Structure 1
Amino acid sequence: MSETQTLCPCGKQLDGTPAIYEECCQPFHLKQAIPEHPEALMRSRYSAYYLGLGQYIFDTHHASYRGNTTVDEFTASAKNTNWCGLEVIAASEEGDRGTVEFKACLIDKDKLHTLHEISNFIRENHRWYYTDGKFQPKTVQKINRNQACPCGSGLKAKRCCLS
């Protein structure tokens, strides 16, 4: 990996090596490619939340399910959240419907919150869209300032996300 390449926030592994953003989710964000299955869309949406890309989040949320939420609201929500990790537990698709079960972590003050969701997706006109999801019980744990930061940087939490 060159110094200008960045690991993809979605955490995807390719042959045991973390995927590079420019080769993973960025082509979806730049509309150079479209996700071919629900897991790819979910990972690209997580990366969009991580990066504050409200337009992408809006565009990939099915219009019938997003209510009155605006692009600006998606952007503000994403930028005001300190996302720090994604774990895909299961993904499936059957015809034009799919589900992805995942856990996404965020840091708020000195606490690590883990959101567990089973998300639903539909395919229309050869494109996948997020529709809705069912949240599982959320977990919250205090982060010790001297432990490794949960974001995976390798730094102590006090020198990274808790600074």
Structure 2
Amino acid sequence: MSPDPTACPCGSDAAYAACCEPLHDGRARATTAEQLMRSRYAAYARGRSDYVFRTWHPRTRPADVTPVPGLVWTGLTVLASEAGGEDDAEGVVEFEARHDGAGGPDVLHERSRFVRRADRWVYLDADPE
């Protein structure tokens, strides 16, 4: 059985239209680092590279965030969140993002660091381990 096309890819069990789409369209802002991380994953899964670019800290983002051709994001598991709440200035979210591409299925494991910039959460970089 194929996944529900109306479901949000972020794993929230909510419909995309009520979950990450308002963030992607600029009608809402992420209130926590985890919400931003989930919405960025959903943006990758939905091909919304404009949102990925807008939510990446300008000091660390690449000039081009074009998706990898043929890469399909297939699932997200949040493993841990540190700080990153509504009143925090920084946060870390550890996750596993499953994907399938030319090399077959794989998993990206990352500890993403987020900061507030102009009262908005942005992705800074991956925490070195």
What TM bracket, shorter-length normalisation? 0.7 to 0.9
RMSD over aligned Cα atoms:
2.0
User: Which residue type is aligned with residue 32 of structure 1?
Assistant: R
- Greater relative CO (CA pairs within 8 A, separation 6+): 2
Q: Which runs of 5+ in 1 are unaligned?
A: 13-17, 137-163
| TM-superposed deviation, 1:126 | 1.2
Tell me how many residue pairs correspond in the alignment.
123
What is the SS of the residue equivalent to 1:75? coil
Change (3 A) 1:88 1:135: farther
TM-score by length of 2: 0.86
The CA distance in 1 between the partners of 2:108 and 2:5, in whole Å, is: 28
Q: Whose Rg is larger?
A: 1
The CA distance in 2 between the partners of 1:50 and 1:10, in whole Å, is: 9
Report matched runs for 1:73-112 at 5 Å. 74-77=65-68, 80-93=70-83, 95-109=88-102, 111-112=104-105
Which residue of the other structure, out of 49, 54, 59, is the alignment partner of 1:59? 54
2:119 maps to what in 1?
126
What is the SS of the residue equivalent to 2:41? helix
2:11 maps to what in 1?
11
The CA distance in 2 between the partners of 1:116 and 1:76, in whole Å, is: 18
The CA distance in 2 between the partners of 1:106 and 1:56, in whole Å, is: 19
TM-score by length of 1: 0.69
| TM-superposed deviation, 1:112 | 1.6
| TM-superposed deviation, 1:108 | 2.1
